[in-house]
Amino acid sequence: MNYASIQFLLFVLATFVVYYLVPSKVRWSILLISSVIFYYLFSKMLIIYLILVTLFVYIISRIITKYEKQKKKILTISILIIVLGLLIFKYNIFLASIINPLIKIFKIEIKTHRFILPIGISYFTLDMISYIRDVYYKKIEPEKNYFKLLLFFSFFPKIVEGPFCKYKDMSEQFNAQNKFDYERNRKALLLIGLGFFKKLVIADRCALMVDTIFDSNLKGLIVLIAILLYTIQIYCDFSGCIDIIGGVAELFNIKLPKNFNQPFFSKSIQEFWQRWHITLGTWLKENIFYPVSLSKINIKLNSKVRKWKNKHLSKFIIIAFPLLFVWLVNGLWHGASWKYIFYGMYYYVIMMIGVFAKPLFDKIIKLLKIDVKSKLFQLFQMIRTFIIVNFGMLFFRASSIKKAFEMISRIGLNISAKIIHKSGLTKENYIVLFITILLLLIYEILEEKGINIREKIEEKSLLIRWPIYLFIIFSILIFGIYGPGFDSKNFIYGGF
Amino acid sequence: MKKGLKNAISFVSFICLLLILLKISDGIFMPSYQESKKAGVRYTIKGFYKIPKNSIDVLFLGDSSMFNGVSPMELYEQTGITSYNFSTPSARAYMYYYWIQEIEKYQQPKVIVIDPLTFYYSQKEKETHTRKAIDFLKNDEIKIKMINDDIYEYDFETKLSFIIPTLRFHARWEELKLSDIKKIFKNYTSYTLGYNVGTAVKKNNNYEHYMDPKDKKVVMKDYVKEYFDKFYHYCHEKSINIVVLGIPDENVWGYNENEALKEFLSGYDNVYYLDANNNEYNLDWDYDFTDGKSHYNLSGASKMTKYVGEYLTSHYTFEKKSNKITKFYDSYLKKYKKIMVDYEKKYQDNLLKAQKKEQKRIIKEEPKKEEKETAKEIHKNKK
C-alpha cells in the first residue's frame, strides 16, 4: 500500500470514521489498531520484530531509572542491541563486504542474508534510541502503558517516512481529548491534496525524464537538466509525502513536527541541512553530535587542541571531529553502501571547507567590498548552495560513485529536439512540468515570506476555496502520473 | 448545531459538485472507440438505456460480427419484431452472462440470439475490447459484479477505473480534441438500436474452402463451458429462449468449429442452432463484407436480418405491442431511415469503387487467363 494511493485514502477514511465514533478517551487505541493493521499489511509477520523491540525498549525504559549506578551501562547496551537489529536487517551485507576481506586470513567468513526489511526500521530504531536517551536524561517519564509506547513507534502516518518525533510531544497529543473540528479537517485535507500534487504531478513526472537520462548514454545539457530535475523530484517526493503524512495526522488532531522549511532558499549548506529533513538533523544533533562532543575522547582532544597557537585551526578541529560522525551516520542511514557514505562525506567536506576557509572568504568579501546583506549577494549564495546540493543529489541518485562522475563528464551545452524527444517526456509534459514547478516556486516564495498559504485559503469564502480545491483535485486526477504505463513511484525515502 | 448543519451541507454540496465534474471528465476522457456519426459502441450501450422498458421481443448478443451483422430496425420494419443489438467488438463468451443480468433489469426479451464466434476466442483479451464491453454500462451492482469476476484478475485501482474512467484515461489529456469535449453534449440515442452500420466494401477471397473439414480437433474451452452454463441456466430461469446464430466468418470459423459447437449445444435443451453458414440467404462474398473476412456491410446485414427474421416469425409468436411502444419504435424507424440515407450513399460509392476494381482486375487477368488456356491446349495437341 503506497501512501499516494486510493487504498491508503480509504484506509485513512475508515480509521477516521471509527476514530470519531468512539469515546475520546479510547481514541488512541483506534490509532494503535489501525497502525498495527497498516504495519501488518506492509510487513506481514515482521510486525513481530516491531512488537518485540518495543517490548524491549519498554522494559529498559522502566528499568533504567531504577538502577542509578548501572544506568549508563544499561543505556549503552540497550542502544547497541537496538542498533544491532538494524545492522543485521539492513547492513549485514555491507558490513560483511568490509569485514570479510580483513578476516579472510583467519579462514573465517561472516555469512550474509538479504533480509526483507521490517518497514520503517530506519525510522523507529532512531525513535527508540531517542526515547531511551530522553528517559535516561530524565527529560521524560518512562511510559507505563506498553500499548501507548507501541503506538508512538508504529503510528501509521509516520512509520514509513518519518518525521522523527519526540515522545513527549506525541504522547500529549495521543492522550488529548481530540474533538472533531470541521475547519481543522478541511485544512488537513488541503495539505493532503498539496502532498499528492507534489508527488504525483511534479515528482513522478520528473522521474520519467530522470530515469530515462540516468539509464542512458546521452550527453549535453540534457544531463544537467536531469540532475536539476532529480533534485526537484526528490524534494517534491519527500516533502509531498510529508505533507500527506502531516495532513493525515492532522485529521486526528495530531501535529507532526515540520520536516522541510523551503530548503532551496538556503544560503549555505549548514542552513540547507537545517531546512531539509529537519527532524533527522535534530536527531543527529541530539544523539550523535552532542554525545560525541561530550565524550571523553573529544574532551581530551579539545583540551590538547585548545593549546595550539593557531586558534582558527583548533576551533576547526573541535567542530570537525564530532561532525565527522554526524555525516558518517547521516550517509549510512540513507543506505548500506559506499555511495551513501560518499554522499555524507561530500557534505561534510564542503562544510568543513566553508568553516576552514571562512577567514579567507571574509577577506575576499572585504577586498571586493561586497555587501553581504544585499539581495544580489544573497541570491548568489542561494544559487551557489543550490548547485552544491544538485551535485550532492546526483551522488545520491546515481547507481554508484563511478556512474555519478561518468554523468558529470557527460554534461555539456549541446541540446537538440532529437535529444529532448528521447528524454522520456513529451513536449506537452515539459510544459506541464514547467508550469507546476513555477506554481511550486510561487508557493515556496510566499511561505518563505511567512505567508501561510493554507491559512490564507481557509480564510477565504467558499467561492474562492472551492475552485482551489477542485483545481488541486483535477490537476492530480488529470496530470498525475499514475495508472497503467506508470505506477505512482514508491516514495524514495520509503525505502528506509 | 447550526454551524454543524451548515458544515455538513457545505461538505455534501462540495462532494455533489465533485461527482458531477467527475462525470463530465469521464465523458471527455473516455476514448471514442471508432464511433461514426450515429453508431458505435457508445451508442449501442448508452442507447439501450433509452428505449422503453419491457418493449423488446428479441435480444442480439455478440461480438463485431453480430455488431455489424443484424439490423433490429430493419427487422422491425419487415416483421414488427422489436429487438436490440447489444454487441461489442471482440466480446467474450463470459460477457453474455453479465450482460443478460444487466439487460434483464430493463427488458424481458422472449428470445436471445447469440453469436458463437466468441466461444473460440482466447480467455484473455485486449483491454480496449473489455473496456468497450463494460465502460458504458451503468455503474450498478451488475457492473461491480462483472469487474470483480475472477476471470479478469483486476487489481483494486483497475476495478475503480471502470467506475471512474478518468482514472484510466486521464493520460489522454495530451491528445484531447474539441470533439472530445463535444462528446459530453452529444445525444447517444441509438436509432439503429445498437447495430453498427458498415459501409465499406471488400471482396472475400477465401470463402470457398473455409467450411472444408480440416485435420484438427476443436474442443470447447473450459471457461466457455463454465460461463455458457451460467448464462443458459439464467435464461432458463427467466424463460428466455436461446438461439445460437452461426454467422459466416472465414477468419475464425470452419467446419471443425461448427461441428464442435453442434456437439456442445446438444447437451442443452431448447437451444437452437441457426447455422447461417449454409448461405440460404444468398450472401454475396464479393460485395457484402466491409473487410473481406467477417464483418458485413449494410447489404450483408440486410440479408442476414431478413434470414433471421424469417426464422423468428416461423418459430415464435410475439405479443402485440401497446400503442405507446409501437409509436416509439415507429418514430425511431423514421429517424433510422433518415440517418441511413448518408450511410447508404457511402455504401453505394464504395460499392461502385469495388465493382470498378473488380472489373479492372478481370480485364487485366482475362488475357493472361486466355493465354494460359491457349498454352494448355497447344501443349495438349502436341502430346
Interface contact A466-B17, CB threshold 8 A = yes
On whether the CB atoms of residues A117 and A92 are closer than 8 A, the answer is no
**String of DSSP letters for A75-96:** HHHHHHHHHHHHIIIIIHHHHH
Cα separation, A386 vs A399, in Å, equals 22
Interface contact A479-B161, CB threshold 8 A = no
CA A213 to chain centroid = 25
Cα→Cα distances A112→A88, A102, A121, A409, Å: 9, 16, 19, 36
Among B154, B174, B180, pick the best mutation site for testing chain A contact (most A Cβ within 10 A).
B174
CB contacts of A477 in chain B (<8 Å) are: 22, 25, 166-167, 170
CB contacts of B176 in chain A (<8 Å) are: none
Containing H/E element for B244?
strand B241-246
CB contacts of A469 in chain B (<8 Å) are: 14
pLDDT digits (tens, 9 = 90+) for A475-485: 999 999 998 76
Residue A488 has pLDDT above 60, yes or no: no
pLDDT digits (tens, 9 = 90+) for A100-134: 888 888 888 888 888 888 899 999 999 999 999 99
CB contacts of B128 in chain A (<8 Å) are: none
CB contacts of B14 in chain A (<8 Å) are: 466, 469
Minimal Cβ distance to B167: which of A428, A429, A483: A483
Cα separation, A306 vs A294, in Å, equals 15
Q: Which three cell numbers stand for residue A83?
A: 542498533
Calculate mean pLDDT across residues B355-375: 78
Q: What is the mean pLDDT of chain B?
A: 90
Q: What is the mean pLDDT of chain A?
A: 91
pLDDT digits (tens, 9 = 90+) for B45-73: 999 999 999 999 999 999 999 999 999 99
Q: Which three cell numbers stand for residue A217?
A: 548514454
CB contacts of B22 in chain A (<8 Å) are: 477
Q: What is the pLDDT of residue A487?
A: 53
Q: Count Cα neighbours of B74 within 13 Å in the Cβ-side half-sphere.
A: 21
Does A76 lie at the interface with B, CB-CB under 8 angstroms?
Answer: no
- Which residues, other chains included, contact B234 with Cβ-Cβ below 8 Å and sequence gap of 6+? B97, B100, B101
Cα separation, A7 vs A198, in Å, equals 19
Q: What is the pLDDT of residue B90?
A: 87
Give the single-character DSSP code of B206: S
How many angstroms separate the CA of residue B17 from the nearest CA in chain A?
9
Model's pTM, two decimal places? 0.88
pLDDT digits (tens, 9 = 90+) for B159-218: 999 999 999 999 999 989 998 998 888 889 999 999 999 999 998 777 777 888 888 888
Query: Crossing angle, helix A338-356 and helix A311-334, to 10 degrees?
Result: 160
Interface contact A478-B166, CB threshold 8 A = yes
How many angstroms separate the CA of residue B8 from the nearest CA in chain A?
9
CB contacts of A4 in chain B (<8 Å) are: none
Minimal Cβ distance to B18: which of A428, A473, A485: A473
Interface contact A483-B171, CB threshold 8 A = yes
Containing H/E element for B59?
strand B58-62
How many angstroms separate the CA of residue B140 from the nearest CA in chain A?
20
How many angstroms separate the CA of residue A477 from the nearest CA in chain B?
7
Cα separation, A424 vs A207, in Å, equals 9
Containing H/E element for B274?
strand B271-275
